[in-house]
Chains A and B, each alone.
Chain A
Amino acid sequence: MNSLLRWQRPGLGAWTGFGQLTDLRDEIDRLFESPLAALTRSSQLLSGWTPAIDLHEDKDNVYVKAELPGMKKEDIDVSLHEGMLSISGERKVENKVKDSQIYRAERFFGRFQRTVSLPSPVAIDRVKAQYTDGILTITLPKTEEAKPKQIDVNIS
């Protein structure tokens, strides 16, 4: 059960090769601009890419949104097991640029996996997923028993 917390690449990782000095004040500003979740880093520094995930729910569904830009649908795997949703896959390095020299490399490539625990039981056979503009959206309908019900209580 790895990476329940998101590891975010430290904002101070600007590549200072080629003698370019980065403005320290700008770097500190950037550090404070990043969302609070980014500051709670998991200790697994070698876990690599952990895409950002949002989890929402209403009375009918659980919604999971993951930011996975630059992937192909077939390279993303979504699975559900005992109330835990796993999103994993591999972002392949396509060396479409021949004979090139890497000048700056900030984007992560390689395998990733995030596992989140769902707040409610869901009907596995009715789960829908969609991948548009680099965002994976998964809609998981809650099982009938899990939906909140109105119970009238008679007070005598």
Chain B
Amino acid sequence: MKLMAQNEGRTVPEQKKQTEFAVPEVNIFETKDGYVLEAEMPGVNKSGLEVTLEGTELTLVGHRPPTMPPGNAVFRESSSASFRRVFDLDPAIDTSKISAKMEQGILTLTLPKSEEVKPRRITVD
């Protein structure tokens, strides 16, 4: 069982679209000590971030202020929607040791595996 990414709303029974959300792109790395997850959420800073954990389900929400530059739009490619993505975590992760950092629109989560799960040598007498 690994860190699995699921589309938003799939594991949550309530109405899927109360507000429109954008899906942040992520990179996930795995080492023997744990996982590192980087999520791209431009325009989001610490105050707009909500990271919640329920059992093994991790929900990332990034709110960004819908402030637009002044004047009229000549063209727009960005969306002003907030970000949301839900993950089902590997049970090997020690959820009490998850740490988060937010910098220039990138959320970096470090999810260490719990000690018992790490590979270790067993000495033979």
B7 proximal to A (CB < 8 A): yes
CB-based A-B contact count at 8 angstroms: 135
Please tell me if the beta carbons of B29 and A102 are within 8 angstroms of each other in the complex: yes
Task: Verify A6–B77 contact, CB threshold 8 A.
Answer: yes
What is the CA–CA distance of A38 and B76 in the complex, to the nearest angstrom?
Answer: 11
B106 and A134 contacting across the interface, CB-CB below 8 Å: yes
0 or 1 for each of A47-85: is its CB under 8 Å from B? (1 = yes): 000001111111101010101111100000000000000
Stretch with Cβ within 8 A of A (4 or more), from B18-26, B52-60, B92-100, B117-125: B18-26
Contacts of B15 in A (CB 8 A): none
Please indicate the chain B residues that have their CB under 8 angstroms from the CB of A56 in the complex.
68-74
Partner of B42, one of A67, A99, A105: A67
B interface: dominant SS: loop
How many residues of chain A get a CB closer than 8 Å to chain B's CBs?
47
Query: In the complex, A79→B13 CA distance in Å?
Result: 49
Contact B105 A137 (CB under 8 A): no
Contact at A54–B43, with CB atoms within 8 Å?
Answer: no
CA distance A149 to B100 in the complex (A): 52
**CB atoms of A69 and B104 under 8 A apart:** yes
Q: Nearest Cβ in chain A — how far from B30, in angstroms? A: 5
User: Which residues does chain A contribute within 8 Å of B40, judged by CB atoms?
Assistant: 69-70, 107, 134
Closest chain A CB from B11 CB (angstroms): 11
Assess the B42–A103 pair: CB atoms within 8 A.
no
Neighbouring A residues of B5 by C-beta, 8 Å: 14, 104
Q: Residues of A contacting B29 with CB < 8 Å?
A: 97, 100-103
Q: Which residues of A contact B (CB under 8 A)?
A: 6, 14, 18, 20, 22-23, 26-27, 30, 33, 35, 37-38, 52-59, 61, 63, 65, 67-71, 97-107, 119, 131-135, 137
